[in-house]
Amino acid sequence: MADDISPTERAFLVLEFLAKRGEISINDLTQHMGMPKTSAHRLLGNLESFGYVRKLAGRDYVIAPRLLELSSTIARAAMVNAPVHSILMELTRTTGESCSLGVLVDNEMEYIDSAAADTRLTLQFQAGHRAPLYCTSSGRIALSQMSKRDLSRYLVSGPWQSFTPNTVTDPEQLAEIIDQTRSQGYAITDSEFTLGVIGAAVPVFTPEKQLMGCLSISAPQARQSEGQVLAMIPMMLEASVKISACMGVVGS
């Protein structure tokens, strides 16, 4: 790492490196970033004192909750200030169902914008509403993008509440569902958080394939079958790319 880089630039470069790697050690900074050990110790210590990184039992450091909260706040501001709502409205008009955009905050899904379907039967997550990860489609997308270490920690964080008879609360069963979600690129739930509601979600990525948000649709079983909701996934993926593009993180 060049000597003429300012302390602020160095801190941001380290945070970017940590975000990509999931966890880092002092040796990682010296080997991959050319940073002297004394500087690496001092910088990580400062970031830890601010609550942006957390030291594990061993030698590694991971992102701490305060930094996740900050990144979520930035994501909320960016998405709300970008023309995201019009994309949500377009998706709702195309599918006939309500859709929402959420971000990961404190191991919960926080919804930052939504568009309601013009029908009597509708489920809409209002901005600021939070929902669990384990039993919502958006939450399972977030879980599928976690590092193995973070996912393992989450899977032992129960016991979890059963909102309906269909709610999956067994960690081993949830782990299998998360593996499937990761491989197929979308999540779907059936009456797990709210009875009679089918949910589907897709990720919203940055160019580095980091999760930025989750785009979801909620449809009542009285109007849509699971197969009909699955048929909406391509439209949701297209809307996801548009959301990334309008925020300037995907090339036109």
DSSP string, 79-144: HHHTTHHHHHHHHHHHHSSEEEEEEEETTEEEEEEEE--SSSS-----TT-EE-STTSHHHHHHHH
Q: Where do the domains of the chain lie?
A: 7-63, 70-248
> Which residue would you say has higher pLDDT here, 3 or 40?
40
**In the CATH scheme, what architecture does the domain 70-248 have?**
2-Layer Sandwich (3.30)
pLDDT tens for 175-193 read: 999 999 999 999 999 999 9
Does the structure show a pLDDT above 80 at 131?
yes
Is the domain spanning 7-63 CATH 1.10.10.10? The answer is yes
This prediction has a pTM of 0.75
